[in-house]
Structure 1
Amino acid sequence: MNEYLNPTELAKPSGFSHAVVAAPGRTVYLAGQTAMDADGAIVHPGDVVEQFRRCLANLLTALAAAGGGPEHVVSIRIYLTDVGEYRRRAREIGAVWKQLMGTVYPAAAGIGVAGLWDDDAMVEVEGVAVVPGTGNDGASSRAA
């Protein structure tokens, strides 16, 4: 089980942990995921909440292929083209987080960027997870 650390000397975190001590297991590095569907199109152009939902769902789909779930995420980075809009819709985004991640709050960073690879993308999410077990769990893979 991962250990989430939030020292009292630091400001109380909201939606993240200051540090995570990962349990033994396989480290899974999760590539940045945008709100792209299986056909490669960005869904919900202009809607940061729905794009965040799809990004996080895509990230969790990649993690599931490695045998992991939300509880195994230890670090996450959220890249945003409009930090102000993300802040304005923070309650809705928080509800999406709870729906998909539950009460798992990994170490996190929100980073404002000038743009993402796809012009319609407003959000990109990448992360690191530690999945219990060793070796190949039989998950399928596909070369890039």
Structure 2
Amino acid sequence: MSLDRVNPAELSPARGFSHAVVATGSRLVFLAGQTALDPDGTVVGATLPEQFRTALTNLLAALAAAGGGPGDLARVTVYATDVADYRARAAELGAIWRELAGRDYPAMAVIGAVRLWDSEALVELDGFAVLD
């Protein structure tokens, strides 16, 4: 499996994401949306960074159970109920990402959502990975 991250010089600098990811492998893992649910199904964390940490941890746990790791992520979509807050906390969220998932960034998008499945959830992450 290989993921080649492509960041053309003629586009704005890619910070915390890759403009494109070329994936070569034999298995695709589609990851369902993960929020800040604990094992009992309760949303934990009062702030966006707290919930982001738990949601990313949950996404990576699902990926690990499928046999993959953070470096296998080809695409992640972030759904945020407050995009302005997400932008304001981008440095903190980026530090959490690097701590948990490293610096090989997938192609990413942040989408504003009026609300998520659980009304207490502030953020949800889904995506897909490519494995050997």
Common fold: TM-score over 0.5: yes
User: What are the equivalent positions in structure 2 for 1:122-141 lying under 5 Å apart?
Assistant: 122-132=122-132
For the residue of structure 2 that corresponds to 1:99, the secondary structure is helix
Matched, 1:61 2:61: yes
4+ long deviations beyond 3 Å: none
Identify the structure with the greater strand proportion: 2
Report the TM-score when normalising by structure 2: 0.96
Percent of aligned pairs with the same residue? 53
Gaps of 5+ in 1: 133-144
Larger Rg: 1
User: What are the equivalent positions in structure 2 for 1:32-47 lying under 5 Å apart?
Assistant: 32-45=33-46, 47=47
Report the TM-score when normalising by structure 1: 0.89
For the residue of structure 2 that corresponds to 1:30, the secondary structure is strand
For the residue of structure 1 that corresponds to 2:24, the secondary structure is coil
Give the superposition deviation at 1:25.
2.3
Matched, 1:96 2:71: no
Cα distance in structure 2, aligned partners of 1:12 and 1:89: 19
User: What are the equivalent positions in structure 2 for 1:75-94 lying under 5 Å apart?
Assistant: 75-94=75-94
RMSD: 0.8
Deviation by residue 1:95-124 (Cα, 9 ceiling, x = unmatched): 100001111110000001111011100000
Q: Which residue of 1 aligns with 2:5?
A: 4
Report the number of matched residues: 131
Give the superposition deviation at 1:23.
2.2
Cα distance in structure 1, aligned partners of 2:24 and 2:71: 11
For the residue of structure 1 that corresponds to 2:124, the secondary structure is strand
Q: Which residue of 2 aligns with 1:140?
A: none
- The farther-off stretch of 83-92 and 59-68 is 83-92
For the residue of structure 1 that corresponds to 2:21, the secondary structure is strand
Cα distance in structure 1, aligned partners of 2:74 and 2:116: 24
Cα distance in structure 2, aligned partners of 1:91 and 1:50: 14
For the residue of structure 1 that corresponds to 2:16, the secondary structure is coil
